[in-house]
Amino acid sequence: MDFANARPNIFLLGFMGAGKTTIGKLLAAALGMHFVDLDDMIVDYHGCSINDIFSQHGEDTFRSFETQALDRVAQASNQVVSTGGGIVGRNENWPLMQRGGLTLFLECQWETIVQRLKESTDRPLVNQNSLQELNALYQLRLPLYCQADYVVQVDGLTPPEIVEAIKKLVLKD
């Protein structure tokens, strides 16, 4: 990918707790790009927390808000975008990310995700589902995440090491 001229967006994909926001901020700083968190965009735009959107309007409405936010963000370039873990579930989201951008899956083992999600209270799907149900969702989504242009294994690596691994991958093409 020609970063000198095109400055494509980098869309970080992965399950809840994979570290998309933490890595996204560091990666954006390291590459001199803007950082955007898609969930934060949705919250700001609709003036409502993700939990409230789910409880007041339902998941389908959230997914529509998510696609609309993705469409808006994809109009600009030079951004590292931390997406929500469910972005891969709607077919129409893929061309939005691929147009002028690349997708990168932060692959994280289930055991690591479970540890991180234990502390989570602001994720409706974590609040509403058992660990077994979340694991089923994780398994269901894995092949979708694997459609990304790049895959980086994050287990056992520090955030700076993950950023280095990503830089090597995306800057070499």
Chain residues binding ligand S3P by CB under 6 A are 16, 20, 39, 50, 84-86, 123-125
C-alpha pair distances (Å), 90 with each of 41, 99, 122, 130, 164: 18, 16, 22, 23, 30
- For the bound state, the minimum distance from the C-beta of residue 20 to ligand S3P, rounded and expressed in Å, comes to 6
Which is closer to ligand S3P, CB of 7 or CB of 163?
Answer: 163
- For the bound state, the minimum distance from the C-beta of residue 102 to ligand S3P, rounded and expressed in Å, comes to 19
With CB atoms as reference, the residue minimizing the distance to ligand S3P is: 84
Which is closer to ligand S3P, CB of 14 or CB of 101?
Answer: 14
- For the bound state, the minimum distance from the C-beta of residue 4 to ligand S3P, rounded and expressed in Å, comes to 30
**Tokens at 14, concatenated:** 């992965």
Which is closer to ligand S3P, CB of 7 or CB of 27?
Answer: 27
Report the C-alpha dihedral over residues 65, 125, 108, 32, rounded to 10 degrees.
30
